[in-house]
Structure 1
Amino acid sequence: MNVELVNTGTELLLGDTINTNAAWIGQRLAALGVPVTRQTIVPDGAVIRVAICEAAQRADVVLVSGGLGPTNDDLTRESTAALLDLDMEMNASVIKHLEEYFAKRGKPVSDATKRQAMVPRGSVVLPNAFGTAPGLYFPAELSATLGWNAHIFLLPGPPRELKPMMESEVEPRLRQWLVDGDSRRVLYLKVTGVGESDIVEAVEKQLEAIPELDLGYCIRNGDVDVRLAGPQPAVDAAAAVVRKALGDCIVSEDRRIIEEVIVQLLTERGEWLATAESCTGGTIANRITDVSGASRIFGHGWVTYANEAKHRHLGVPMELIETHGAVSEEVARAMAEGALRHSGADYALSVTGIAGPTGGTPEKPVGTVWIGLAAKNGETWAQKKFSPGSRDRFKLLTSQAALDMLRRRMLGIGVR
């Protein structure tokens, strides 16, 4: 099955809005074993007709996002109708949805908004439970007179509207159309603590020897996704190779990121986490609280950037800081133990380091960081890391290493 994406919106081309829809759709379709073959971005306006026309001549399925709203530059609906020579008609079910939607908000339905209820004859309305503009599906037979055989879907641009519609209306149809020859399995093994070149060195020769395997790597947010795609036997064989070589470095096999894994582990155990951060400025706490359900496992977080704050709020002795320096194993341990003591949590993570670009010394260069982990059973661990580079990159890699240290201790595997 050949699938193409057409994304509309001048703001996408100007860089004012990041095209997250395309990345999300690509991931969803890859998981179905239906990779996207081409992606096109066009500005608002009549050019959308040209883009859909070109895509429909090549593809079995065309997914179009954006341009379904009430403004005069939202022309996706009208352009597709004109392309397929379909008359527009007012749809009663969409009008009813609009009236109910705005009644809940105490507003009337404007004439501009009613424009979204104009539906090309022969198309199928895709309900939008999270917005006003319905999606539309044009079965392949509507394009047959033009010599094409393309199913065309028009989806709203806002992700909060597009994603539920994709899951409930588009993906079930795609599954029905898949034939045995199209069906592939795609598995993502999320690896942390190992660089891409080291992963390649460890597994690539063995993986390249597996027939019909499609292999790929993607670096993201401190992880490396190892993508294995192909027939089920090939993917199973490849996964076994990666698990054997990288075992305890695999964070997930379902695309969950490390903070999601941590929250799930703590939730299953009924345990709590606290954080005490200096150089990362709250990055670890932010990542944890970005996960739904974090309130069940996270109660306390301190950002103690100044030495005085480490002493006053965490109880780190000033003489310890003066003797060993704020960036030291001793201070990292004391920060973690102080956070554990004051929070009553089961685990406490601490980080203290030099983010740069200034502040480094020959003994402690920029990028040096100590990570501490204290546990309720009385054990405290500390680990030194070195991550030179930009401040944001330093914060990301340090928070990733801290979370991985916690993951490994909770699972009873050695710290790297």
Structure 2
Amino acid sequence: MNVELVNTGTELLLGDTINTNAAWIGQRLAALGVQVARQTIVPDGAVIRTAIAEAAQRADVVLVSGGLGPTNDDLTRESTAALLNLDMELDAGVMQHLEAYFAKRGKPVSAATQRQAMVPRGASVLPNAFGTAPGLYFPAELSAALGWNAHIFLLPGPPRELKPMVESEVETRLRQWLPDGASRRVLYLKVTGVGESDIVEAVEKQLEAIPGLDLGYCIRNGDVDVRLAGPQAAVDAAADVVRGALGDCIVSEDRRIIEEVVVQLLAERGQWLSTAESCTGGTIANRITDVSGASRVFGHGWVTYANEAKHQHLGVPMELIETHGAVSEEVARAMAEGALKNSGADHALSVTGIAGPTGGTPEKPVGTVWIALASKGAETWAIKRFSPGSRDRFKLLTSQAALDLLRRRLLGIGVR
């Protein structure tokens, strides 16, 4: 099955908006065993007609995102209708949705918004529960007069509207169209704490020997995704190889990121976390609270950037700081133990380091960080890491290592 994406939006070309829709759709379709053949981005306006026509000549399925709104440059609906020589007519069901949507907000349906209720004859409406613009599906027979055989989907641009529509409307139809036995499994093993080159060294030769396996790697946010695709038997055999070599470094096999895994593990155990951060400035707490349900497991977080704050809020003795320095194993341990005591949590993570670009010494160069984990009824762990580079990168890798330290304790797999 040949699938192409057409994305419309001048803001995408200007770089004002990152095209996360294309990445997400690619991942969703890959899980179905369908690989996107091509992506096209065009500005708002009439050029969308040309882009859809070009894609429909090549593809079995064309997914178009954006340009369904009420403004005068939202022309995807009208351009597709003109391309396929379809008349537009007011859809009563869409109009009722618009009236109910705006009634809740105490507003009438404007003439501009009413455009969204105009549906090309022969197209099916894809309901939008999270916005005003419905999606539209054009069966392949509507393009047959032009010599094409393409199913065309028009989808809203905002991700919160597009994603549910893809899941409920597009994927359902794609599953029906896939021939029996044509399914192709894709598995992502998210690995942390191991660099891409080390992963390659550990598993690639064995994986390359598996017939039919499509192998790939993607570095993202402190992780490496090992992508295994192909027939079920090939993917299963490859997954066993990766688990055997990197088992305790695999964070998830369902694309969950480490903070999601940690929040779930804490929730399953009915346990609470607190944080005491210096060089990361609250990054760990931010990552945890980005996860839905974090309020069940996270109650306290301190950003003790100054030495006086470490002493005042966490009880770190000033003589400890003066003797060993703020960036030291001793201070990291004291910070974690102070946070554990003051919060009453089950676990407390602390970090203290030198983010740079200034402040380093020959003994403690920029990028040096100590991470500690104190837990009720357990010894305090402390690890040293070195992550030179930009401040943002330093914060990301330090918070990743801290969360992995907690993950390991929760799973009982020890420090690597």
TM-score range normalised by the length of the shorter chain:
over 0.9
For structure 1, which segment, 103-112 or 378-387, has the greater mean C-alpha deviation from structure 2 after superposition? 378-387
Cα contact 1:288–1:294 (8 A) shared by 2: yes
CA-to-aligned-CA distance 1:174-213 (integer Å, 9 cap, x gap): 1111113531000000000000000001000110111110
For structure 1, which segment, 29-38 or 355-364, has the greater mean C-alpha deviation from structure 2 after superposition? 29-38
How far has the Cα of 1:414 moved from its partner? Answer: 2.4
CA-to-aligned-CA distance 1:52-90 (integer Å, 9 cap, x gap): 001001111000000001111000001100110101111
How far has the Cα of 1:110 moved from its partner? Answer: 0.5
For structure 1, which segment, 405-414 or 45-54, has the greater mean C-alpha deviation from structure 2 after superposition? 405-414
Cα contact 1:374–1:381 (8 A) shared by 2: yes
Runs of 4+ residues over 3 Å off in structure 1: none
Q: How does 1:9-408 map to 2 (within 5 A)?
A: 9-408=9-408
- Describe the SS at the equivalent of 1:299: strand
- Describe the SS at the equivalent of 2:157: coil
Cα contact 1:138–1:152 (8 A) shared by 2: yes
CA-to-aligned-CA distance 1:136-190 (integer Å, 9 cap, x gap): 0000000111111110000000111111111111110111111135310000000
| Structure 1 unmatched runs, 5+ | none
- Describe the SS at the equivalent of 1:181: coil
For structure 1, which segment, 172-181 or 103-112, has the greater mean C-alpha deviation from structure 2 after superposition? 172-181
CA-to-aligned-CA distance 1:105-141 (integer Å, 9 cap, x gap): 0000111110111110000001111111110000000
Structure 2 distance, partners of 1:298, 1:406, is: 13
How far has the Cα of 1:381 moved from its partner? Answer: 1.0
How far has the Cα of 1:415 moved from its partner? Answer: 1.0
Cα contact 1:139–1:151 (8 A) shared by 2: yes
TM-score by structure 2 length? 0.99
Structure 1 distance, partners of 2:251, 2:367, is: 24
Cα contact 1:155–1:162 (8 A) shared by 2: yes
Cα contact 1:373–1:381 (8 A) shared by 2: yes
How far has the Cα of 1:378 moved from its partner? Answer: 4.3
CA-to-aligned-CA distance 1:320-370 (integer Å, 9 cap, x gap): 000000000000000000000000000000000000000000000000000
- Describe the SS at the equivalent of 1:7: strand
How far has the Cα of 1:318 moved from its partner? Answer: 0.2
- Describe the SS at the equivalent of 2:394: helix
Structure 1 distance, partners of 2:254, 2:239, is: 13
- Describe the SS at the equivalent of 1:401: helix
How far has the Cα of 1:412 moved from its partner? Answer: 1.2
**Change beyond 3 A, Cα 1:409–1:378:** closer
Cα contact 1:190–1:251 (8 A) shared by 2: yes
Structure 2 distance, partners of 1:170, 1:53, is: 20
Structure 1 distance, partners of 2:160, 2:256, is: 20
Structure 1 distance, partners of 2:194, 2:305, is: 29
How far has the Cα of 1:35 moved from its partner? Answer: 1.2
Structure 2 distance, partners of 1:112, 1:366, is: 56
RMSD (Å), alpha carbons: 0.6
Structure 2 distance, partners of 1:325, 1:237, is: 50
Cα contact 1:137–1:152 (8 A) shared by 2: yes
How far has the Cα of 1:256 moved from its partner? Answer: 0.4
- Describe the SS at the equivalent of 2:179: coil
TM-score by structure 1 length? 0.99
Structure 2 distance, partners of 1:78, 1:336, is: 60
Structure 1 distance, partners of 2:170, 2:274, is: 42
Structure 2 distance, partners of 1:177, 1:72, is: 35
How far has the Cα of 1:411 moved from its partner? Answer: 1.1
Structure 2 distance, partners of 1:198, 1:382, is: 24
- Describe the SS at the equivalent of 1:119: strand
- Describe the SS at the equivalent of 1:73: coil
CA-to-aligned-CA distance 1:252-290 (integer Å, 9 cap, x gap): 000000000000000000000000000000000000000
Structure 1 distance, partners of 2:12, 2:251, is: 33
- Describe the SS at the equivalent of 2:53: helix
How far has the Cα of 1:241 moved from its partner? Answer: 0.5
Cα contact 1:192–1:251 (8 A) shared by 2: yes
Structure 2 distance, partners of 1:73, 1:165, is: 23
How far has the Cα of 1:379 moved from its partner? Answer: 1.5
- Describe the SS at the equivalent of 1:41: strand
Structure 1 distance, partners of 2:409, 2:373, is: 9
Structure 2 distance, partners of 1:46, 1:68, is: 13
For structure 1, which segment, 314-323 or 378-387, has the greater mean C-alpha deviation from structure 2 after superposition? 378-387
Structure 2 distance, partners of 1:89, 1:208, is: 55
Cα contact 1:66–1:155 (8 A) shared by 2: yes
Structure 1 distance, partners of 2:30, 2:312, is: 51
How far has the Cα of 1:410 moved from its partner? Answer: 1.4
Cα contact 1:34–1:182 (8 A) shared by 2: no
Structure 2 distance, partners of 1:21, 1:345, is: 39
Cα contact 1:134–1:156 (8 A) shared by 2: yes
Structure 1 distance, partners of 2:185, 2:71, is: 41
Structure 2 distance, partners of 1:170, 1:78, is: 21
Structure 1 distance, partners of 2:224, 2:311, is: 38
Structure 1 distance, partners of 2:201, 2:153, is: 42
| Identity across the alignment (%) | 90
Structure 1 distance, partners of 2:136, 2:200, is: 44
Structure 1 distance, partners of 2:251, 2:94, is: 44
Cα contact 1:52–1:62 (8 A) shared by 2: yes
